[in-house]
Structure 1
Amino acid sequence: MGRWRPPRPRGSRYITPEGASRMRAEVKHLWEVERPRVTQAVSDAAKLGDRSENADYIYGKKRLREIDSRVRFLTKRLEEITVVDRIPDDRDKVFFGAWVTLEVDDGKTVKYRIVGPDEFNVKEGLISMDSPVARALLGKSLDDEIEVQQNEEWVTYYILEIEYPENDAV
Structure 2
Amino acid sequence: MADSRPPRFITPQGFARIRAEYEQLFGEERPKLVETISWAAGNGDRSENGDYIYGRKRLREIDRRLGYLAKVMKTAKVVDPASQGGRDQVRFGATVELADEDDNRRVLTLVGEDEADASSGRISWASPLARALVGARVGDERTVRLPAGEKGYQVMAISYPS
TM-score normalised by L of structure 2: 0.92
What is the root-mean-square deviation of aligned Cα atoms in Å?
A: 1.5
1:89-118 CA-to-partner distances (Å, cap 9, x unmatched) read: 211100000000001122111000000101
State the one-letter code of the partner of 2:147.
N
Which among 117, 139, 143 is matched to residue 121 of structure 1?
A: 117
Structure 1 Cα separation of the partners of residues 67 and 127 of structure 2: 26
Aligned positions of 1:15-164 closer than 5 A:
15-85=10-80, 86-164=82-160
- Answer whether contact 1:12 1:130 (CA < 8 A) is retained: no
Structure 2 Cα separation of the partners of residues 16 and 89 of structure 1: 15
Runs of 4+ in 1 over 3 A off after TM superposition: 9-12
State the one-letter code of the partner of 2:110.
I
- Answer whether contact 1:11 1:117 (CA < 8 A) is retained: no
Structure 2 Cα separation of the partners of residues 16 and 106 of structure 1: 32
State the one-letter code of the partner of 2:143.
E
Structure 2 Cα separation of the partners of residues 26 and 64 of structure 1: 15
- Answer whether contact 1:20 1:83 (CA < 8 A) is retained: yes
- How many pairs does the alignment contain? 158
TM-score normalised by L of structure 1: 0.88
- Answer whether contact 2:7 2:77 (CA < 8 A) is retained: no
- Answer whether contact 1:27 1:71 (CA < 8 A) is retained: yes
1:112-137 CA-to-partner distances (Å, cap 9, x unmatched) read: 00001011000111000110000000
Structure 1 gap segments, 5+ residues each: 1-8
- Answer whether contact 2:99 2:105 (CA < 8 A) is retained: yes
How far apart are 1:12 and its partner, in Å?
4.0
Structure 2 Cα separation of the partners of residues 22 and 103 of structure 1: 31
How far apart are 1:87 and its partner, in Å?
2.3
- Answer whether contact 1:97 1:164 (CA < 8 A) is retained: yes
